């Protein structure tokens, strides 16, 4: 294993990532046992919220698994997992409305979502070759190859950083609309924030770890260039 001055920070960020994943599962599980006051299921809330925002053409589909919920911008579909689609819990309605938040972002051309969509094809390309370029450049001592790896990896890091405001904005939209539409009472907003905040932390931790890794690669490149 290669140890650098950045190693401890990266390990700490990795620990934060593991803790964030544990927390989101625990928080989701906790509030999956708490029914929402409106009695709506995740599927019902998503359908109603889409229709209320002029998005009746977007289907709400059930997919297997847990925490596999997402909005697919290519097919313009909201997909909800088992514990979200059928449940009337605070966790289910919160997650469902969050995914609808992405659909609303798509409708209004939310700038950060547009930026993420535009670089996604490039991310698919660079994320596959970046590890090989970095490892090849590092162990073969080819600085040009290593630099190409850094550039390729930086695209993936940029994608993760752009994802942060996209996720926070979707959660903010979801909370506001859930209250406005009467899906939750004001007294339930704290629980909704806990569910969506735990999910957001996973994105923050992942982005932090990627940024630290990028800084480490830049440090290695500069060190080898100075030798």
Active-site positions read 99
**Tell me, what DSSP letter sits at residue 184?**
S
Length of the chain: 227
Mapped to the 3 state alphabet, what secondary structure does 102-162 carry?
HHHHHHHCCHHHHHHHHHHHHHHHHHHHHHHHHHHHHHCCCHHHHHHHHHHHHHHHHHHHH
Say how far apart CA 138 and CA 130 lie, in whole Å: 12
Helices and strands (H, E) in the chain, number of each type = 7, 3
Check: CB of residue 213 under 8 Å from CB of residue 12.
no
């Amino acid at each position: 294993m290669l140890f650098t001055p950045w190693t401890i920070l990266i390990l700490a960020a990795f620990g934060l990532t593991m803790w964030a994943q544990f927390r989101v599962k625990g928080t989701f599980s906790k509030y999956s046992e708490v029914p929402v006051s409106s009695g709506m299921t995740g599927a019902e809330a998503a359908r109603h919220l889409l229709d209320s925002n002029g998005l009746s053409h977007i289907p709400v589909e059930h997919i297997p698994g847990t925490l596999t919920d997402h909005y697919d911008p290519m097919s313009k579909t909201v997909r909800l997992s088992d514990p979200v689609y059928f449940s009337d819990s605070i966790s289910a309605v919160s997650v469902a409305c969050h995914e609808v938040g992405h659909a609303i972002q798509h409708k209004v051309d939310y700038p950060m979502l547009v930026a993420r969509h535009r670089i996604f094809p490039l991310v698919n390309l660079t994320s596959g070759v970046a590890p090989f370029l970095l490892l090849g450049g590092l162990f073969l001592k080819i600085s040009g190859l290593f630099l190409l790896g850094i550039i390729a990896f930086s695209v993936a890091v940029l994608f993760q950083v752009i994802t942060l405001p996209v996720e926070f904005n979707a959660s903010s939209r979801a909370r506001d609309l859930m209250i406005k539409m009467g899906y939750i009472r004001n007294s339930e907003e704290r629980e909704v924030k806990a569910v969506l905040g735990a999910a957001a932390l996973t994105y923050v931790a992942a982005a932090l770890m990627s940024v630290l890794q990028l800084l480490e690669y830049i440090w290695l490149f500069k060190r080898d260039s100075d030798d």
